Structure 1
Amino acid sequence: MLPFKTLIIIDESSSVAVYRQIADCLIVMITDGVIQPGTFLPSTREMAVLLDKHRNTIVAAYEELITQDWIETLPRVGIRVALDLPLIKPRSFQEGGKNKTYSDPAKFSFRHDIPGPVQHSFPLKRNSIIVNDGFPDADLAPFDSMLREYRKLMQGSRLKTLMSLKDFGGTQALKNSTVNFLNDSRGLNISTDNLLITRGAQMAIYLAAAMILKPGDHVLVSDPSYYIADEVFKQLGANLIRIPVDEHGIDIEGVENALKSTKISLLYIIPHHHHPTTVTMSQLRRTRLLELIRSYQLPVIEDDYDYDFHYNNSPVLPLASSAHNSNVLYIGSFTKLLAPSCRIGYLIGAANFIIQATNLKRLIDLRGDTMMEEALSVIINNGELDRHIKKSKKVYNERCDQTSLMVANQLSHAVDFTKPQGGLALWLKFKAEYPLGDIISKARSAGLLFAGTAYYEGEDQKHNGMRFGFASLKESEMQRAVEILRKITI
């Protein structure tokens, strides 16, 4: 008999059940050839004595192996390893099970015009630095508090209810919390009838645009603009009309001229920390834009992706907080407050619009992440989110100051930039003698990757700029990133 006591190693501290550990060890011995097909195993009583375990544990292990077809019971004879071992499970319908079921490309007609992210075919060095286009630092997020609430929900009586809720635009708890949060922080005056919870702001942009646009419609966007939003509008069949952006925001005269000459179906705008340039629209232009919105009954998507991070003075209230005759659809996200993987955003609009947008969302997402939504609602209600915003805003303000100083001292020969009033990134505009494509390629070779800035590469080189996300970088990482840029531009 094999020395099963030696061969079957059991870790009593493991989270894996003991019977599963025994079953897994026996499977390994079978597949490694230590136990041959047709070999009889000790009875459950014998194995229990050999391993010094309760017989029920061995019974459970053997039942697991029987279920997976590794062993079989022969009445009045014993338990043996199966002759026909389940080496491929589930069994393939392909003869011999040798050919991969999706080895050939699809031959039916499908869309090939949907852009994807730029793929970089190079190995990252172990100590490489990745600079994103403005993400929060996940190390600062109140995950301990959220996980504590998550665990409470997993152990509580509401678990089954939360798991089976029908989607009505988010859990009621988070909708209530979000309405209070937005009314208090952004000067809105909304109820839950005006709110749809989404999986991030990107879903909100898509839903809002899909509710409005038809193929051939015209959309006003800034120049430059948030690349992925532009792609949404184009995929919906819209034509983009680009309006320049300067240090005061989008050119309102250009907006007005477009409205006078063309039937415009939608305006997409980021007045607060414009993406990608980070500029904030002046109050004079905001006032004039609101007049145009009311006069032309112009549908507007206002993307306010990082409202809460304004450093030197109070943030400017969104367009949605002013009189706009329900034409402004306001979009934001908790993602920028917490971490990129926390995909919870929101869409604010007139009640009749939100009803239909919720119906559209249900076609692609039957229910949101109800557990995460409930946990988030708790940290909003108990003040944890507000405390996190105050804490992280102080950290990001310091990082903004540090990064701006480094760039000004070491890269003034190569870039022009204006320190932003807030947000999580700088907009670095490289001088003509430093083409962005070359900068990114050389930086990549030196171990510095810019994730997201490829939006401003490619055919449209006129901006020659990139977003330098500072919020998620420690000071040493900022120093190395700026030093690499300095070396490749001197």
Structure 2
Amino acid sequence: MASPVSIPFTSFIVLERSSATPIYLQLVTQIINAIQRGFLVKGTPLPGTRTLASVLGVNRNTLVVVYEELEALGWIEIVPNKGAFILQQTINRAEKIPSSTKNFTIAYPSKTGYDFEKSQLLDTPFENSNHTLILNDGIPDIRLLSIHQLTQSYTSSLKRKTHQNKNDENPQNGRIYFKENLSNFLNLTRGLHISTKNLLITRSIEMGIYITSEILISRGDKVIVGELSYFTPNMIFQNSGAQLLTVPVDSEGIDVDAVQKLCENNKIRMLYLTPHHHYPTTATLSAQRRIELLRLSQIYGFIILEDDYEYDFQFGNNQVLPLASADTEGMVVYIGSFGRSLAPGFRTGFIVAPENLIVEMQKFISILDRQGDTFMDYALGNLIQEGDILRHIKKTSLIYKERRDVLAQLIDKYLNEWVNYTLPTGGLAIWTRWDASINLMKLREDCLKLDLHIPKHLLYQNLKISAMRIGFGSFTPQELEFIIHKIFKILRKS
């Protein structure tokens, strides 16, 4: 049997670092594929996480998550003090694993032989990093998940013959089952009054925004966004030919008076906002402004595109309902995510809108995502029906609230000389306002030397503002203290 170190992993594992698919999921998928193809046979010992991380050029913590996921899925066995071993029997063993592509006589072309238009609008600011700690703008912690429960739900969906029969008859049956349960879930938790006819399932919130933009925005249309707003929707709107107009954002959300002034002098097609926790400032749109926005939309005829990406993460006793729950004139298109606190593969997006718009949107889905994932739809529907998702949200909300409070206490303890903030009522990030004398890009460079990566898109600094959005959801209290103390050490030296 070959030594685990001698296995040419780089010959069958190729990571696409620019892909939207997380690195750990790419690794899980490609290792399973290698087992199925016979590259890794039953009983083969896998290298230690540190060794394989070095070979593949990824963070060791990523490999730890990968091994845990593979074990939960039944592809490997982790034996304490001995290592990880392949469990799955092979199907067809490959005769030879190519060690490189240098033996190929003809290389695949590196460039096209024709011209095409390149988009500069869709260049995202995301960065790849192999540092031990990487700040983010507020993402859930997948370590809080019961991977076994998720995989069991999906596996049971695969094994049920009734589902298989339905799948043979109509691939959309799983989608219908999920939509029935999701519409009930949204009515119960978000104060909506919808049926399956008002619901469209998408792969993500971004997909929902893209479809909405393609259908409702024409070249030259004017779209209002916050002066500070989420870059991805802005890029999508501009790519559709929209002209963006900005309005200020304060502690009560977007400035409604500024919206009205724009409407008085312009034909506004759409207003995009994230009312529960405005991105990036985390401000919650006040009740008075919500009512006023609905009134203005009826008077001036503009669409309200409500992006409710963080609804599940509210920590107060009085939860704020979406604008869509009070919309009686069909002016709001409500976009959200289901299962954002679950593993990436189990997350999905949705659009809520009047039936005639959903019918038109369904045409796009039929092209972009015709087949979908029938068994995943059954699994997600089952998580709702059995109450598992509600229990998970309630449990993790307490943990995220604790982490928010810990981060606030650490900022008070270490950074109060340079940083101010307002404690958010929900979400997974704190918007921090920094002393203008602090060069945030220089701070970022100094943090990199201490193995702490602060992505550029978290930093907001110009003549008018000096701020940073710090996510806390994916870090334990110990990790948060480690991060803030590193920043403190740098600031104290400077």
1:118 to 116, 125, 147: 125
1:454 to 454, 457, 481: 457
1:294 lines up with 2:301 in the alignment: no
Letter in 2 for 1:162: N
For residue 279 of structure 1, what is the aligned residue in structure 2? Answer: 283
Letter in 1 for 2:406: Q
Distance in 2 (CA, whole Å) between partners of 1:322 and 1:119 is: 36
Moved over 4 A (4+): 15-18, 86-89, 163-168, 455-458
1:355 to 355, 359, 371: 359
1:107 Cα deviation from its structure 2 partner: 4.0
For residue 482 of structure 1, what is the aligned residue in structure 2? Answer: 484
Distance in 2 (CA, whole Å) between partners of 1:233 and 1:488 is: 39
Are the counterparts in 2 of residues 135 and 471 from structure 1 also a CA contact under 8 Å? yes
Superposed CA offset, 1:130-176 (max 9, x none): 221111111223432221121112222223643784459x7011101
Distance in 2 (CA, whole Å) between partners of 1:468 and 1:203 is: 25
- The farther-off stretch of 317-326 and 213-222 is 317-326
1:369 Cα deviation from its structure 2 partner: 2.4
- Give secondary structure in 1 for the equivalent of 2:248: strand
Are the counterparts in 1 of residues 224 and 247 from structure 2 also a CA contact under 8 Å? yes
Distance in 2 (CA, whole Å) between partners of 1:135 and 1:335 is: 12
- Pair 1:106–1:280, CA change in 2 (3 A): farther
For residue 437 of structure 1, what is the aligned residue in structure 2? Answer: 441
Distance in 1 (CA, whole Å) between partners of 2:120 and 2:479 is: 37
- Give secondary structure in 2 for the equivalent of 1:268: strand
Superposed CA offset, 1:367-409 (max 9, x none): 3222222111111111111111110011011111111111122
Could you list the runs of 5+ residues in structure 1 that have no partner in the other structure? 1-14, 25-60, 71-85
Are the counterparts in 1 of residues 36 and 92 from structure 2 also a CA contact under 8 Å? no
2:468 to 466, 471, 476: 466
For residue 265 of structure 1, what is the aligned residue in structure 2? Answer: 269
Are the counterparts in 2 of residues 294 and 324 from structure 1 also a CA contact under 8 Å? no
For residue 413 of structure 1, what is the aligned residue in structure 2? Answer: 417
Distance in 2 (CA, whole Å) between partners of 1:137 and 1:215 is: 40
- Pair 1:386–1:335, CA change in 2 (3 A): closer
1:195 Cα deviation from its structure 2 partner: 0.2
- Give secondary structure in 2 for the equivalent of 1:366: coil
Are the counterparts in 1 of residues 324 and 334 from structure 2 also a CA contact under 8 Å? yes
Distance in 2 (CA, whole Å) between partners of 1:334 and 1:278 is: 20
**Identity percentage of aligned residues:** 32
1:109 Cα deviation from its structure 2 partner: 2.0
Are the counterparts in 2 of residues 248 and 279 from structure 1 also a CA contact under 8 Å? yes
Are the counterparts in 1 of residues 138 and 473 from structure 2 also a CA contact under 8 Å? yes
Are the counterparts in 1 of residues 272 and 304 from structure 2 also a CA contact under 8 Å? yes
Letter in 1 for 2:124: P
1:112 Cα deviation from its structure 2 partner: 3.4
1:454 Cα deviation from its structure 2 partner: 1.4
Are the counterparts in 2 of residues 204 and 345 from structure 1 also a CA contact under 8 Å? yes
Distance in 2 (CA, whole Å) between partners of 1:390 and 1:268 is: 29
- Give secondary structure in 2 for the equivalent of 1:423: coil
- Pair 1:419–1:241, CA change in 2 (3 A): same
For residue 326 of structure 1, what is the aligned residue in structure 2? Answer: 330
Are the counterparts in 2 of residues 136 and 340 from structure 1 also a CA contact under 8 Å? no
1:357 Cα deviation from its structure 2 partner: 0.7
Equivalent residues in 2 for 1:165-176 (5 A)? 165-167=170-172, 171-176=175-180
Distance in 1 (CA, whole Å) between partners of 2:146 and 2:178 is: 17
- Give secondary structure in 2 for the equivalent of 1:331: strand
1:99 Cα deviation from its structure 2 partner: 3.1
Distance in 2 (CA, whole Å) between partners of 1:240 and 1:288 is: 21
Distance in 1 (CA, whole Å) between partners of 2:235 and 2:197 is: 29
Distance in 1 (CA, whole Å) between partners of 2:113 and 2:438 is: 42
- Give secondary structure in 2 for the equivalent of 1:467: strand
Are the counterparts in 2 of residues 220 and 264 from structure 1 also a CA contact under 8 Å? yes
Letter in 1 for 2:387: G
Equivalent residues in 2 for 1:88-237 (5 A)? 97-104=104-111, 107-118=114-125, 120=127, 124-125=130-131, 128-157=132-161, 158-159=163-164, 161-162=166-167, 165-167=170-172, 171-237=175-241
Distance in 2 (CA, whole Å) between partners of 1:194 and 1:404 is: 40
Distance in 2 (CA, whole Å) between partners of 1:239 and 1:176 is: 37
- Give secondary structure in 2 for the equivalent of 1:432: coil
For residue 45 of structure 1, what is the aligned residue in structure 2? Answer: none
Count of aligned positions:
410
For residue 350 of structure 2, what is the aligned residue in structure 1? Answer: 346
Give the TM-score of the pair, scaled to structure 1: 0.77
Are the counterparts in 1 of residues 205 and 350 from structure 2 also a CA contact under 8 Å? yes
Distance in 2 (CA, whole Å) between partners of 1:189 and 1:225 is: 29
Letter in 2 for 1:184: L
1:331 Cα deviation from its structure 2 partner: 0.9
- Pair 1:87–1:378, CA change in 2 (3 A): closer
Letter in 1 for 2:311: Y
1:271 Cα deviation from its structure 2 partner: 1.0
1:403 lines up with 2:403 in the alignment: no
Between structure 1 and structure 2, the one with the greater Rg is 1
- Pair 1:334–1:430, CA change in 2 (3 A): same
Distance in 2 (CA, whole Å) between partners of 1:16 and 1:166 is: 26
RMSD over aligned Cα atoms: 3.0
Distance in 2 (CA, whole Å) between partners of 1:218 and 1:99 is: 50
1:435 Cα deviation from its structure 2 partner: 2.8
Superposed CA offset, 1:401-459 (max 9, x none): 111111122112222211101111111122211233222222222211234x516459x
Letter in 2 for 1:410: Y
Give the TM-score of the pair, scaled to structure 2: 0.76
